[in-house]
Amino acid sequence: MKTMKTMKTNRKAGFTLVEIMIVVAIIGLLAAIAIPNFVKARETATANACINNMRQVDAAIQQWALEKVKATTEKVTEADVAPYIGRAGALVPTTLEAVGCYCPLLKTVTPKTPYVLDTVADKPKCPLAGANSMHVLPI
C-alpha cells in the first residue's frame, strides 16, 4: 500500500501550459512594441546619412565654385565636385558614386542614381526626395 508521502513525490517538475502561454504573450507584446521602433530608427538613420551626404556634396560645390571663381548661376556637374569630396584617396574621381556619396537607400541599385545637381546656389537633391520627404537638405 502506497502512503501519502510517496504519491506526492511522483509529480514531475515543469511548466504548465498556462505559464508558457503567459510567457509567449509577454514576448509577443514586447516584440509588437519594439519592432516598429526599430524600423523607425532605421528609416531615420538612413535619412540622416542621406542628408549628411548632401551636405558634403553642397560643401564640395561651394569649394569648387570658390576655387574656380564661378557665379552662383553656374551649372554644376558630378565631375566638377567629385574631386572635392574627401573620400577619393589617390584617384581623381569623376562621379559621386566613385566617392561613395549617394543615398543609402540606393545601395542595392547599380549604377547608383546621383544626387540632382543644378547650380551653385541650389542645394543638391536626393533622387528619392519626392517619394520620401525625410531626404531633403534643410535650408
Q: How far is CA 10 from the centre of its chain?
A: 58
The span from the CA of 134 to the CA of 114, in Å, is 17
Say what the pLDDT of residue 90 is: 62
Say what the pLDDT of residue 98 is: 83
Cβ 104 vs Cβ 116: under 8 Å:
no
Q: Pick the residue with more confidence: 64 or 90?
A: 64
Q: Pick the residue with more confidence: 93 or 71?
A: 71
Q: Is the confidence at residue 55, as pLDDT, over 90?
A: yes
Domain boundaries, the chain: 17-106
Q: Pick the residue with more confidence: 6 or 44?
A: 44
Say what the pLDDT of residue 138 is: 82
Q: For 119-132, how does the pLDDT look when each residue is reduced to its tens digit (9 = 90+)? A: 999 999 988 877 66
Measured on CA atoms in the order 67, 70, 71, 73, is the torsion positive or negative? negative
Helices (H) and strands (E) in the chain, counts: 3, 0
